[in-house]
Amino acid sequence: MREQDVALELLAAALMYQHGVAGTSIEEVQAAATVSASQIYYYFGDKDGLVRAVIDYQCENVLGVQKPLLANLDSIEALEAWRDVIVSIHRDGRNQQGCPMGSLTSELARSTPETRADLLAGFTRWEQALRDGLRAMRDRGELPTRVDPERFALALLAAVQGGLVLTQARRDTVALEASLDTVIDCLRGHTD
């Protein structure tokens, strides 16, 4: 990918995160980037192409921030460290729009099958990283074999997304902390 289209993705992602996909036009991206419309259409084809590029960018961004933690998510302590990072990103209203992936999903859930597939692919990667860590814990004997890594990975991801929706409404991270702590405490209960 060339530098110009990466810069356009970044700018479009920021505008869509702030104003929503429906509230961001190609013309607004064009004006903010000070490029011609033909450049945007050359790189992305149309607004759907730009939206799909933004989805890819936001998934990479959200997962990239967590990558070092997700790569070593193989203990209760590592889960707690991951939880602390997620909470700190959203504490004190610094990230009031919630998760960029969740925000896009809320807005685009009824859009094209390709767009939904792109969003699902991002969430699947996130869930897989959580699942891999939980499997490693189970394989090492830290969690009993009756613990289902698939269900707990999905529960952790749902705790993040649901907690972030409530964080947006409440303007605090209490719900996010409670939901993640509850799932982690349940896992901890299996280690006793």
- Spell out the domain ranges in the chain: 3-191
Tell me, what's the pLDDT at 5? 66
Please report which confidence band the pLDDT of residue 74 belongs to, taking 50, 70 and 90 as the band edges: confident
Tell me, what's the pLDDT at 165? 93
Count of residues making up the chain: 192
Helix intervals (H) in 1-91? 3-19, 26-33, 37-44, 47-70, 76-90
Q: Whole-angstrom Cα distance, residue 76 to residue 105?
A: 29
HSE (side-chain half, CA atoms, 13 Å) at 75: 4
Whether 48 and 115 have beta carbons less than 8 Å apart is answered as: yes
Structure tokens at 44: 């992305």
Whether 11 and 32 have beta carbons less than 8 Å apart is answered as: yes
Tell me, what's the pLDDT at 189? 87
Work out whether the CA dihedral 84, 82, 93, 7 comes out positive or negative: positive
pTM of the model: 0.88
Residue with tokens 């790569």: 71
Tell me, what's the pLDDT at 159? 97
What does the DSSP 8-state code read for residue 172? S
- Selected residue with higher pLDDT from 156 and 7: 156
The tens digit of pLDDT for each residue in 120-174 reads 999 999 999 999 999 999 998 889 999 999 999 999 999 999 999 999 888 889 9
Whether 176 and 85 have beta carbons less than 8 Å apart is answered as: no
Whether 78 and 133 have beta carbons less than 8 Å apart is answered as: yes
Chain centroid to Cα 184, Å, comes to: 19
What does the DSSP 8-state code read for residue 34? T
Say which CATH architecture domain 3-191 belongs to. Orthogonal Bundle (1.10)
